Homo-oligomer: A and B are copies of this chain.
Amino acid sequence: MSLIVQKYGGTSVASIACMMHVARKIKATQSAGHDVVVVVSAMGDETDRLEGLAFQITEQPMAREMDVLLATGEQVSIALLSMALQSIGCAAKSYTGFQVGIHTDTAHTRARIEHIEEAKIREDLERGFVVVVAGFQGIDANGNITTLGRGGSDTTAVALAATLKADECQIYTDVDGVYTADPRMVPDARRMPRVTFDEMLEMASLGAQVLQIRAVEFAGKYNVPLRVLSTFKEGSGTLITFEEKGMEQPIVSGLAFSREEAKLIIRGVPDKPGIAGQILGPISEAHIEVDMIIQNLGDDGNTDFTFTVHRRDYDRARAILEKIDKELNAKGILGDAKIAKVSLVGVGMRSHAGIASTMFEVLGKEGINIQLISTSEIKVSVVVDEKYLELGVRTLHEAFRLHEEPYEEDYEHRLRA
């Protein structure tokens, strides 16, 4: 007998009809001989509705009370899902965060799980119950209700799977797996049967928003086999695995992109130690997250300093830079809020040179100018004008033959074919 942790997101339980469908899936899993622990999110837009009520009262609701408020969303879901299971003859029992004993730190609205008690869950599983746990919530050392932040239910599921040493943690969502590229943009994008944790982390942080990044990190850290599946479509989804030695890895696994980027350049700043901190310090103090950072030495001994931020932070970041520009007596600010980032991801890149140059060549042939480049061991990201995003993504997807099954032949071979 194996133990499976299943997590169902908000769209999977958005209505009573969805809830019944989910209950039948859970019952089928149990009937197949598995112990099942289910983690469930708030129904549909319930979290937004609750937040809306709070913001009608005050622009800055106390974080402690926000957590008390938002935690009700998942509590409603566990009660209804347990009823749904019982109504189809499947014994089930619900647990809120405090009832399980999901202990977190005290960082309201973005708490981190420290420890999960397993005694009650084990006991109920032995008695044949499906155990239904509220995602997203926990309790701190003083008995205060905490929440883990948006998408926290994925983290709850992975943490439970790690604690219970589950055989698999299945994340049910409204897509049926991780694709080589967004299928809405690339019609022949292919579902990847498996992807490594490292690749998934790069993809998640690059905008393929299937799984919460903290959940992927957590699963990687605690060796939890993680699978993404569709609630509404049968299939085996995508398994997120560890790299196995000797296993043939595709060089490029997938293609991620983000349209939510903006670029800022401060020109002609003195090229001296500490300059990056002087520029990025005030940006960071304003809680603006910086993604790519590039520094070019100009011909006059001064330097141009370029970085990207989320598009929603563009105006604020630019205003901060204008001040810094004056303080440093620099040569002015350039900016562009209409850029996009495209990335190739693949653990095979570690052992294959030439991916980046092939990428640049392919884009160049289509007349797409590359504005910024950033690389890591397993990815190459480029920033291009937003209007070239679709063209760039589709061209790269085809050039690297991501629509074809990998494994049987290597990438150089494919490119030659």
Contact = CB atoms under 8 A, between A and B. Distances in A.
Contact of A79 (B20, B65, B84): B65
A54 B317 CA distance: 48
Interface of A: 16, 19-20, 50, 53-54, 56-58, 61-62, 64-66, 68-69, 71-72, 75-76, 78-80, 82-84, 86-87, 93-94, 96, 98-99, 143-145
Contacts of A93: 64
B57 A84 contact: yes
B94 A79 contact: no
Nearest to A94: B68
B68 A145 contact: no
A412 to B, nearest CB: 57
Contact of A65 (B56, B61, B94, B144): B94
A94 B69 CA distance: 10
Contact of A96 (B53, B54, B56, B145): B145
9 contacts: A57-B87, A58-B83, A61-B86, A65-B86, A69-B80, A71-B75, A72-B72, A98-B98, A99-B145
A76 B86 contact: no
A78 B83 CA distance: 26
B78 A75 contact: no
A57 B80 contact: yes
Contacts of A75: 68-69, 71-72, 75
A58 B93 CA distance: 16
B83 A79 contact: no
Contacts of A69: 75-76, 79-80, 83
Stoichiometry (number of copies): 2
A62 B76 contact: no
Contact of A57 (B16, B53, B66): B16
A100 to B, nearest CB: 10
A127 to B, nearest CB: 14
Nearest to A93: B64
Residue among A19, A68, A82 facing the most chain B CB atoms (10 A cut-off) = A68
Given A69-B76, A72-B79, 15 more contacts: A16-B57, A20-B57, A57-B83, A58-B84, A61-B86, A65-B82, A65-B86, A65-B94, A66-B79, A68-B79, A68-B96, A69-B79, A69-B83, A72-B72, A99-B145
A56 B69 CA distance: 24
A323 to B, nearest CB: 31
A82 to B, nearest CB: 5
Nearest to A132: B65
A62 B98 CA distance: 21
Given A68-B75, A72-B75, A76-B72, A83 B96 contact: no
Contacts of A98: 98
